[in-house]
Amino acid sequence: MSILAYGVVIWLFIVGVYGVVTSRNLIHMALCLTVAQSGTDLLLLEVGYRTGGHAPVFVGLSPHPGPTVDAVMQALALTDVVIGAAVTALLLALAVQVNKRSGTLDPDELWGTRE
């Protein structure tokens, strides 16, 4: 189980970076970056997971009914998800303006426009 859990984290990160490296379209590149980013969120939550634990919400329960999962990791991952979307929006805004100026979304062709 540990191998599967941590292996998925490594796989998501490497697949996301592979998408960025071999991308021919800036929009595709920004979305591949979200895949790599979600890998790191997943790692945070996996480190905080406890087998048989329940969520750190104590509404209507008797005090401490059993093991609880880590609340600090969830607080870190929570803001990360929302802000990742805002940063992706910034990348897409840059892609829109680049397309207007040079007429293409292909990063390889962009590199050669200075000649």
Partner 1 sequence: MREAMVAVALVWVAASGTAVVLIRDPLSQAFAVGFFGLALATLYLSLQAGDVALSQIVVGAIALPLIVLLTLAKVREKPQ
Partner 2 sequence: MTPRGRLVFFIMAAAGLSVALGIGFSELPSFGAPISAYASLLNHLAPVQRRVTDVVSAVSFDYRGIDTLFEEFILFSAVTGIAVVLRPLSDEVRDLPEDEAPERKVPAPSPAVGLLGVILSPLLVLIAIETITHGQLTPGGGFQGGVILASALYVIYLATGYSTAERFQPTALLEGSDGFGAGGYVVVGLLGLLGGVAFLTNVVGLGHSGNLISGGTIPLLNVVVGIEVAGGFAILGSEFLDQTAVIRPRRK
Site residues for partner 2 per CB under 8 A: 1-2, 5-6, 9-10, 13-14, 17-18, 21-22, 46-51, 53, 55-59, 63-64, 67-76, 78-80, 82-83, 86-87, 89-90, 93-94, 96-97, 100, 108
Helix (H) or strand (E) holding 90: helix 71-102
Residue 40 has a CB neighbour count (10 Å cut-off) of: 15
Helix (H) or strand (E) holding 13: helix 2-21
Contact positions toward partner 1, by CB under 8 A? 1, 4-5, 8, 11-12, 15-16, 18-19, 24-25, 27-28, 31-32, 34-35, 38-39, 41-42, 45-46, 48-49, 51-55, 57, 69, 74-75, 77-78, 81-82, 84-85, 88-89, 92-93, 95-96, 99, 105
Distance of CA 41 to the CA centre of its chain: 6
State how far the Cα of 30 lies from the Cα of 105, in Å rounded to an integer: 12
64, interface contact from partner 1, partner 2, none, CB < 5-8 Å by kind: partner 2
Copy the structure tokens of residue 68. Answer: 């609880």
